Structure 1
């Protein structure tokens, strides 16, 4: 699930690992959860979609994983908070990041 989030962010040009250098903030995970509807077994192919939820100082990513037959394997989320690299205090998400996410989901 986390890798799907990394790929989503990289795909919109906002790779997690580049954000600290570009904006002097980072996006640590403060909460995450998943709920399985069906088992995922070794060798299964699943597709994971990410739906962002942009807040003022946070980024939520809601995930849905589906099996090849279209049935839901699990749903889950990651909650990230935007914090300064200088003092680890919460900060507003950079406008460029908000715009990139909004543009990618419209």
Structure 2
């Protein structure tokens, strides 16, 4: 018989760390309050920015289709996309401004 030893048992794996929760920072809350109520500062809320990006994308798509239908390719398509982008930016920004004013801190 041989004197072969079995391989050593590997150490137990550590349990996964708990899910990360960012600490509540009072400075971020104060910044968001000033950005919502006073204005003049960019909005850094990810959810608001996601909604605005989706709205602008939808306006660009609809505007480019209307421009393609009315003005043809490529001039009408590009003009419609630009008009849709500007309209989406203005309308979604206005909606987010109103939401920011009525949002409870």
Q: Of Structure 1 and Structure 2, which has the larger fraction of its residues in helix?
A: 2
Give the TM-score of the pair, scaled to structure 1.
0.26
Give the TM-score of the pair, scaled to structure 2.
0.26
Q: Higher relative contact order by CA 8 Å / sep ≥ 6: 1 or 2?
A: 1
